[in-house]
Amino acid sequence: MDLQRVAVLRKSHAADLVLGRQLKAVKRFQHQRFSRTYQDLLELPSQGAAARFFLEDLYGPADFSERDDQFVRIVPALVRLFPGEIVGTVSRLSSLHALSEELDTEMARQLGDELIDTSSYRRAWQSTGHPEQRRAQIDLMLEVGEALSRYTRRPMLRSSLRLMRGPARIAGLGKLQEFLERGFDTFHSLGDPAGFLATITTRERRIVDWLFEEPVTLPRPEGFE
């Protein structure tokens, strides 16, 4: 399972203090970059909540180990309670998280104890390589966002999720429940989900192209100082 790969990575982070510290620095840098890249969306009443969901729940530097552990435990329940397409979406979210953790870890290894700025981040990005995996991150993000957008238009699914609040807390799955509800409610309130996702996808793909480009001819994307 994808999150079991993440658990193995976390053990390596705990065993190597420099790696663990630099990984946190990579995540902070990316979090700050995302904030700058999407400052316009964050300030929009209609799209700010969705942008913050991406910023904090998908790109954030927070420790998601408790939520991930809960996710692993709830998979059998998901299979029993939800249609296959929702289970597939949660599986893609797991794949996105695992892929991001693997690539971020390799970035931290490439950086060593170097201070992170735009230049060193770009060098580490190119040294890590994996352009297709980088683009797969964006594709997975888009798939998850599109699925959440579809599901939140189905009142029965949203009602079923709310009914799980009590059982989830009793079972020690509160963090996961909060994440799922936040994702559903965020996309339900989004006025133009297709436009929002298109903006995220276009900007992130442009950034990937710029980071891998050598020599640089494209203008520096917004968000990189």
pLDDT in tens, 59-87: 666 666 666 666 666 666 666 655 666 67
Residue 64 has a pLDDT of 64
Digit-coded pLDDT (tens) for 90-135: 778 778 888 888 899 999 999 998 999 999 999 999 999 889 999 9
What pLDDT score does 3 carry? Answer: 61
Number of neighbours of residue 174 by Cβ within 10 angstroms: 15
* Type of residue found at 155: P
pLDDT at 80: 61
Contacts of residue 125, Cβ cutoff 8 Å, sequence gap at least 6? 107, 211, 212
Nearest Cα residue to 75 out of 130, 13, 131, 1 = 1
Whole-number pLDDT of residue 82: 58
Q: Cβ contacts of residue 130 below 8 Å, gap of 6+? A: 103
Are 155 and 190 contacting, i.e. CB atoms less than 8 angstroms apart? no
128 residue type, one letter: T
CB within 8 A of 91, min separation 6: which ones? 2
Measured CA to CA in angstroms, residue 164 lies from 60, 77, 81, 87, 91 at distances of: 25, 11, 10, 16, 19
List, for residues 124-183, the tens digit of each pLDDT value: 999 998 899 999 999 998 888 888 888 877 777 777 778 778 777 776 667 777 877 888
What pLDDT shows up at residue 212? 92
| Section 24-32 average pLDDT | 92
pLDDT above 90 (res 225): no
Q: What pLDDT, on a 0 to 100 scale, did the predictor assign at position 68?
A: 64
Predicted TM-score (pTM) of the model is 0.84
